[in-house]
Amino acid sequence: MTWNLKNGPLLGAALMLVVLLAAPHMFYPVFLMKVLCFALFACAFNLLLGYVGLLSFGHAAFFGSAGYITAHMVKALNFDPLAGILVGVMVSSLLGLVIGWLAIRRSGIYFAMITLGFAQVIFFLSLQLKFTGGEDGIQGVPRGMLFGLVDLTDTMSMYYFVLAIFLCGFWLIYRTINSPFGQVLKAIRENEPRARSLGYDTDRFKLMAFVISAALSGLAGGTKALVFQLASLTDVNWHMSGEVVLMTLLGGMGTIFGPAIGALLVVTLNNYLAGFGSWVTIIIGAIFVSCVLAFRRGIVGEILEKVRTWPTRHKT
């Protein structure tokens, strides 16, 4: 069989599916669910950074606000878990529409600073609004019965529910990237003035990508709130925005699987270092610095680059 790079994503997807179906029998399911939520978050973020070239430093706003809304819907208004998540997604999409509409007026580092600023607004609101519970957050969120049939308090059912959500989100991102729409996004990333001169309304494309990314971040955040039965300030904090940047950078921005792998590594790291106080922050900072200085393509990006240049290096 000839090894073709084009088969890579398909092969990778098949491998990922097998691993994810079998994983809860070998690893701690709650940990895996956490990884899946963050992997979806990072992939959604990567849609913006890796494929449109927009660095948002405020994605925690979407992740965290959807978490709060989902938790509130399910706990206070007795919504079905999936319906709760969908309301969370709607709110994060609306936020994405407003913040994105304002932020795309500037590009580059201004875009990063603006998104960071608006995310801080969401943080303040989460701290001050009544329903969010201030410093305590919303605790003891019931996982409930999915469609009144599946009991999600059972860890395994919950795992497969989360897996299904992850796969839907991942598939949507994959389809977006590999559609004509995705091609235009890449064109904007490579050369925005040229894309504009070809007749594309680049602002509209950027805004659409921003909203999709915000919606999927919300999907991840809402799901995470159900998994941990908690929505808290941690998820809207700017540290969270930084962490998702790191996951994407570490795994490989602009690659399909990179962010998921980056999420796996960062979540593992967070779990192992949870008892060591501020060392997590220090090590995460150090990984940032070494990524930027030494391997900017990220893990998956570097591997792909090796594979791509391998034949030429060995022919000559």
Partner 1 sequence: MMIQIFGIPIQALLGQLLIGLINGSFYAILSLGLAIIFGLLNIINFTHGAQYMLGAFAAWMSLTYLGANYWVGLILAPLAVGAFGILMERFMLRRLYHLDHLYGLLLTFGLALILEGVFRQLYGVSGLSYTIPEIFQGGVNLKFMFLPYYRAWVIVASLSVCFATWYVIERTKLGAYLRAATEKPELLQAFGVNVPLMITLTFGYGVALAGFAGVLAAPIYQVTPVMGSNLIIVVFAVVVIGGMGSILGSIVTGIALGLIEGLTKVFYPEASGLVVFVIMALVLLLRPAGLFGREK
Contact footprint for partner 1 (CB under 8 A): 55, 102-103, 105-106, 108-110, 112-114, 116-118, 120-121, 124, 128, 238, 242, 245, 249, 277-282, 284-289, 291-293, 296
Per-position DSSP letters for 117-172, written without gaps between them: HHHHHHHHHHHHSTTTTGGG-EE-----EETTTEETTSHHHHHHHHHHHHHHHHHH
| Residue 119 backbone dihedrals phi, psi, to 5 degrees | -65, -30
We find the least distance from the C-beta atom of residue 89 to partner 1, in angstroms, to be: 23
Nearer to partner 1, 144 or 235 (CB): 235
- Best CA proximity match to 33, nearest among 42, 41, 24: 24
**What phi and psi, each to the nearest 5 degrees, are found at residue 183?**
-65, -40
Closer CB to partner 1, 14 or 98, in the complex: 98
Cβ of residue 289: shortest distance to partner 1, in angstroms? 4
State in angstroms the smallest separation of the CB of 285 from partner 1: 3
Amino acid at 196: R
How much of the chain is in helix, strand and coil states, percent to nearest 5? 75, 5, 20
Cα separation, 92 vs 64, whole angstroms? 9
Query: Given the complex with partner 1, which of 53 and 67 has the nearer CB atom?
Result: 53
Looking at residue 240, its amino acid is M
CB of 7 to partner 1, least distance (A): 30
Q: Which is nearer to partner 1, 3 or 279 (CB)?
A: 279
If residue 75 lies in a helix (H) or strand (E), which one and from where to where? helix 60-76
Please say which residue, 128 or 316, places its beta carbon nearer to partner 1.
128
The least CB distance from residue 116 to partner 1, in Å, is 6
